[in-house]
Every structure is written in structure tokens, then in C-alpha cells.
Amino acid sequence: MVRMELAGNLFLVGLMGAGKTTVGRALARRTGKTFYDSDHEIEARTGVRIATIFDIEGEARFRDREVSVIADLVQMNNVVLATGGGAVLRPENRRNLKNHGVVIYLRATIDDLLARTQHDKNRPLLQTADPRAKLAALFAERDPLYCEVADLIVDTTQQNVTHLVARLEQQLLALQGAPRRSPLA
């Protein structure tokens, strides 16, 4: 069987725990693209964990680093890029993502996001007394921005990663052959 090729860059956006890193890595493997993760790239360039950057420099400086890393990574060809959960907050990032590839919003319920993030201490914004309330507030603030930038919106509830990636590939192939329309999958 001849497999259809998915052209260009794929960019994943969504909240912490949406699965950008996990799904992105699997999607890259399936589509033969190279995987990048803006959080990992920031850690590689600075030599420290994200939580340490937040501690020492604060969130605004972290966002500056994120803008610079994303501006570099969108120039690559044939990549899957998992972005940090807050990347869409900066207009430069939204513009760069929109202009250099297909943007996929992985949407998840607050319950799922909480369950998937509760054992990981490298998400400084969730180190609070009430991470559920924090996730709900971040969702309210960012969901419109993820939707604004997305070509495709994928509900990840009750979807294991393998099925999600297979379905995503089909949706992306359909999108590739179709004129631009509503991002709701």
C-alpha cells in the first residue's frame, strides 16, 4: 500500500498535561518527521530545568526565552514541535506558529489535565495549593487563544495516545487536501 505523505511542519498547542510532548513524539515517529519540544530546547540551551528558570528569572523572562526558541524552531522543515503550554500568550509566537505550519490544539478536560500533571514537579505554575483551580483559570484565559491559532482542534478525552495519533494523521491528511475551514474536528 502506498502511504500518503503529510507535508510540512506540525505544531502542537494546549494546556499542561494535554499531551503535546507525548503525542508530538509519537506523531513524529508515525509521520517520519523530526520531533522538537520548546520546553526541552529551553532546558538544553540554559542547562537548567524550567522550574529553576521560573525561580531565578521569573515567568516574564522565561516567556522571552520561549519566544526566541520558537522563532528558531519554526524555521526548521518537516518537524513536529510540541510547544510550552503558555506559548500562545505571546502574539509573536501565535504569528510564528500560524505562518510556518499546521497548528493542532490538543484539548482536554480539567479532570484529565489534573490527573496527568499531578505527579510532575517541573510545572511551576501548578505548584499551588489548588492546582485544579489554577488549571481552570488557565483554561479560561487560554482556550480562546489556542482556538484562535489552531487549524485543527482535537478532543483528547478517553483517547489513548496510539489511537489519537492514528486519528490525527487521518484528519491532517484530509486537511491537507481540503481548503481552509473551521478548526473543529
Ligand X SMILES: Nc1ncnc2c1ncn2[C@@H]1O[C@H](COP(=O)(O)OP(=O)(O)OP(=O)(O)O)[C@@H](O)[C@H]1O
Ligand Y SMILES: O=C(O)C1=C[C@@H](O)[C@@H](O)[C@H](O)C1
Name the residue with cell 522538537.
36
Binding partner of residue 86 among Mg ion, ligand X, ligand Y, none, CB under 5 to 8 Å per kind?
ligand Y
Report DSSP state, residue 84. P
Nearer to Mg ion, 21 or 31 (CB): 21
Of the residues 6, 125, 164, 185, which one makes contact with ligand Y according to CB under 6 A: 125
CB of 124: closest distance to ligand Y in angstroms? Answer: 6
The set of residues, in sequence order, having a beta carbon less than 8 Å from that of 59 and lying 6+ positions away, is 125
- The least CB distance from residue 119 to ligand Y, in Å, is 15
Cβ 173 to ligand Y shortest distance, Å: 28
Q: Between 31 and 156, name the residue whose CB sits nearer to ligand X.
A: 156
CA-based nearest residue to 152, from 111, 95, 101: 101
Pairing between strand 10-13 and 102-107? parallel
Q: Which of 10, 50, 73, 150 binds ligand Y (CB under 6 A)?
A: 50
CA distance 135 to 126: 8
Rounded distance between C-alpha atoms, residue 102 and residue 176, angstroms = 9
Gyration radius of the chain over CA positions: 16
Please identify which residue in the block is written with the cell numbers 524552531: 73
| Total residues in contact with Mg ion, by rule CB under 5 A | 2
Q: Stretches 20-28, 98-106, 146-154, 177-185: which one binds Mg ion (CB under 5 A)?
A: 20-28
Contact string 67-86 vs ligand Y (x = CB under 6 A): -----------------xxx
Annotated binding-site residues read 17-22, 39, 63, 85, 123, 142, 159
The residues binding ligand X (CB under 6 A) are 14, 16-23, 39, 82, 84-85, 116, 123, 156, 159-161, 164
Note whether 151 and 104 are within 8 A (CB). Answer: yes
- Alpha-helix runs per DSSP H in 32-156: 38-46, 50-57, 59-73, 91-100, 110-117, 131-149
Q: Does 21 bind Mg ion (CB under 5 A)?
A: yes
Where does this chain bind Mg ion (CB under 5 A)? 20-21
Where does this chain bind ligand Y (CB under 6 A)? 16, 39, 50, 84-86, 123-125
